[in-house]
Amino acid sequence: MSNPYFQFKQFTVRHDKCAMKVGTDGVLLGAWAPVQNAKYILDVGAGSGLISLQLAQRNPWASITSIEIDPAAAAQAKENIQSSPWSDRMEVICSDFRDYHAENKFDLIVSNPPYIPAAAIAGLAADVQKEPRGALDGGADGLDFYRRIVSGCEIWLQPDGLLAFEVGIDQAQSVCQLCRQAGLIVTAVRKDYAEIERMVFATREGTYYADHLLEFTS
């Protein structure tokens, strides 16, 4: 049986009630997404709350909203956040993100959404296939959730804000194209330690992030 929790330096993440467990990819997104200028952060599909907690640790001033559609995962994210040092500036909302109406726009939106193409799920390891399909299925090409999130950026993202995605193998350039089609025309990709393109950053022209994306992705 896998470990039901991960202990970080300043917080603990329990993930036994979440479909997607703590993994290297999520940890890297939480560690590498630029947060220094973000006052309001939105984590879409927060799962256990891992990425939200990492961002809270890295930015002592940010207010962070974590959206998770699965009730069990949302409840566990709340538990993880409530036991952290930053619970006073974090909230978890159990909702479909398409139904979420924010009081303010966000400086940074991060997401590690389901990105496995539907036809590929049958070929996954047996233990992975036991997880709820909604936590895995990214639609026919694996990009459905990226399309939905990008399409909401006009509503959710500050004009000078940044979008940061975890992506599946061989999806980075397609996600960059989706972002550019939505007006987030300055894009950059960061590779993981295996030299695989696994993170996409996107923003509008003329922003602080546009001027510094190469720093964030090198």
For the chain, which residues score pLDDT lower than 70?
Answer: 1-2, 6, 19-25, 116-139, 214, 216-218
- What's the confidence (pLDDT) of residue 158? 96
How many CB atoms lie under 10 A from the CB of residue 195? 7
Q: Based on the number of CB atoms within 10 Å of its own CB, is 143 exposed (0-12), middle (13-18) or buried (19 or more)?
A: buried
**pTM recorded for the entire structure:** 0.90
Distance in angstroms (rounded) separating the CA atoms of residues 16 and 31 = 22
- Tell me if 143 sits within 8 A of 150, measured CB to CB: no
Give the per-residue pLDDT at 123.
65
Buried (b) or exposed (e) across 7-35, using 16+ Cβ within 10 A? eeeebebbbebbbbbbeebbbbbbebbbb
Q: What is the predicted pLDDT for the residue at 1?
A: 42
**Structure-block tokens of residue 1:** 């049986």
Q: Which amino acid does the sequence have at 108?
A: L
Phi then psi for residue 150, to 5 deg, are -60, -40
Q: Domain range for residue 194?
A: 5-216
Question: How many domains does the chain contain in total?
Answer: 1
For residue 87, the tally of other CB atoms under 10 A from its CB is 14
b/e map 157-187, b = 16+ CB within 10 Å: bbeebbbbbbbbeebbebbbebbeebebebb
Distances (CA, A) of 150 to 14, 61, 79, 82, 203: 29, 26, 29, 30, 11
pLDDT at 119: 63
Q: In this predicted structure, what is the pLDDT of residue 148? A: 92
CATH number at residue 200: 3.40.50.150
Per-residue pLDDT at 134: 63
Say whether 87 sits in a helix, a strand or coil: helix
Tell me the CA end-to-end span of the chain in Å, nearest whole number: 37
